[in-house]
Structure 1
Amino acid sequence: MTLVEICVEDVAGARAAEACGADRVELCADLLEGGITPSLGMIGTSLAAVSRIGVHVLVRPRGGDFVYDADEVASMLADIAAIRRLPTRVPVGFVVNALTADGRIDEVVTSRLVAASGDASTTFSRAFDEVVDQPAALDVLARLGVHRVLTGGGRGPAAAHHEELRALVRHAGTRIGVLAAGGVRALNVAELVESTGVREVHLRAPADDGGRSRTSAAGITAVLDALGRSAG
């Protein structure tokens, strides 16, 4: 079965993802900036609103690049610690990222973020699609204990990078998961999974709500239907 993760920005999105039968959400704020860490209030309320699905929280102090100074790293570590103290009935994970100025994984910062996450599941964000050598970066992340990488196989939609995603899945083996992302929709998800061998997909299911970021239950259901899954 293909695991489905929905990127959401509010409590209603988390509820919709669970009600439709998705497996996990990535909770973010300010998706127009590419996503940043949501407030503790939003995280706590979202955790209280669901009873089954996993909630992975994006840890990113600002938009822009993924090269962080010491103060930003301290902020991310503090956010992880605070989130881990929140009460929850569901598994909580963290979506982390840190690159060097020359486009490689910042091993020092990433290792600190992973260590701070304890036994929680960790995903390296689509900052991965900015690195200069993806197979080498995958090796680094696997060695650091990251559980999966969020990637479209390169910049842009996953549909344009089937070959690259397939190669990453082969290279990863059982060491680290590959979570395919980027323009994933009902019309292309089955082909994406069959062509690349990915076992997890990540998508937004946006609803048109006057420019406000909302999650479409119909969009989630359509993806699950395309994968031969029913709501659960």
Structure 2
Amino acid sequence: MFGLLVVSSAFGGPNAGGVIILHQNDALVYTDGVSFCGQAGLNVCDNAATRADTDEIVVLHALAAFPGDAHPRLAGIAFGVHYDEAQIRFVDWGMCGDFELSESGWPASDSGTAVTWGEAQTNHLTQFYWIAAYSYLGNPAQVVLRGHPQGGGNFADDDIPSNLDVIADYGAFGFYMDGELPCPVPQPGTTTLALVPSEITVYQPCGSSFGIDLHVNDVYSLAAFEI
């Protein structure tokens, strides 16, 4: 006879485990005055293109990527960017949400911005920004996503008040060098514990023994408790 205990653990909000990445759709040609939201042409994080060996202007799509078993509800994101301003120049940029609150000087290196939506975004890949950039000197260099200088990198959901989930990792795009592509991994979910055997023998100092029947009477979810 086997005892079976199922425990469902829920740590973090609906955007837990999400990452942000940079990707180039090489079918696009930069044009002044055009928004490049919704033109990433990417369906799977693993297929993102994170390198360009060119001195032409490249459109970089910034996307939030969530684990396949997640149910994201993305209503806001705070993030920053880092790059060598002597090597890489930004010529244009734009948000892909409904509202943006940027630091003074954005998008200078190591500055930050925040983007929000009036309605939660539920896709596993959601574009939140685009940047048109080029290699100024033709040397190897990266554009690296990072946390916001004020408060770090976070996702917010559409609850009131919002639940914040820390951005799990950050991607980078490389000019004349490889970028970095940290695709999300599944988050801890249901854990099954098999209790074998269901009868435990306890030995007494006098040498006698007796059996104890072990039964699972109920199943509890850790989500029901405040931890």
Relative to the length of structure 1, the TM-score reads 0.26
Relative to the length of structure 2, the TM-score reads 0.27
Structure label with greater radius of gyration: 2
